[in-house]
Chains A and B, each alone.
Chain A
């Protein structure tokens, strides 16, 4: 079996939801055994993003004021949205929008590696899905940074790698009902 085939995500962990009225923000923390500089490159460089992120970027996200088109990967139809980088303090803080959502990354030197924190405001109905998706993406990112890339696992692919279980676990942690699973038709697209 390849490393990818053997991959199974661990239990749901490292996630919180900040509730500001109707606006909910997912906060995910992941410790990585790699320098902030290396993690920064993986967060901003399109060639690195392609190895782990749930979207394609048509340009670097590493400079404040630049715009890039982000295209969802693994969705039944691609969703293209224009993103503007609103903050890029390498290698510490990165902020940009993904459609109508806001993404904020914080990188802190921690124990010889990086404590990576993601803030992502996701509609409450889909927030456990987002947590499950990012969980798997972070595992794949870790493999990439370690030099043993296993290839991006997003969208339909994630279904085979424990995403439904993670979605249920995060939903339980956040105290929300498990949202609708994608329909058969959607999965077959």
Chain B
């Protein structure tokens, strides 16, 4: 058993695809559709066969309620790990993303938080053991 997939709810899959590829720098992995269903995933170019992130439509009431509630609590809907949180912060910010938290040292890691414009906060995490 392996963890190969995780998902975030998004309010608009097309907008999400643009944000997760053009702003965050992931690559589109799978994209197919059956009627109103669209299966859309991205993966990291650093790890093309690694874990995929599904951009799942929030078009059911339970998904929307969950997404809004954790957003209001300022909780991240997903966390991505990086070896250079400050570099990613500068790079992603330069592409126009809004950070709700700049790189901040917390116990065991440095984290930053950004708004994915699709209804979620996304946390970038650099574990302390990876720092110099």
Binding site for B on A (CB under 8 A): 54-55, 70, 72, 74-77, 79-81, 98-101, 122-123, 125-126, 129-130, 133, 154-155, 179-183, 185-186, 188-189
How many pairs, one residue from A and one from B, have CB atoms within 8 Å of each other in the complex? 75
SS class, residues of chain B in contact with chain A: strand
Q: What are the interface flags for B7-39 relative to A under an 8 Å C-beta threshold, 1 for contact and 0 otherwise?
A: 000000000000000000000111111111111
Q: From known contacts A74-B34, A154-B34, A180-B32, infer whether A80 and B60 are also in contact, taking CB-CB under 8 Å.
A: yes
A79 to B59, CA, bound (A): 9
Interface size on B, residues (CB 8 A): 20
Q: Which 6 A-B pairs have the closest CB atoms?
A: A99-B36, A183-B30, A79-B37, A126-B33, A75-B37, A72-B37
Binding site for A on B (CB under 8 A): 4-5, 28-39, 41, 52, 56-57, 59-60
SS class, residues of chain A in contact with chain B: loop
A-B contact pairs, 20 of them (CB 8 A): A54-B34, A55-B35, A75-B34, A75-B37, A79-B34, A79-B35, A80-B60, A81-B59, A98-B35, A99-B36, A99-B37, A123-B33, A125-B31, A126-B38, A180-B29, A185-B41, A186-B30, A186-B32, A188-B4, A189-B5
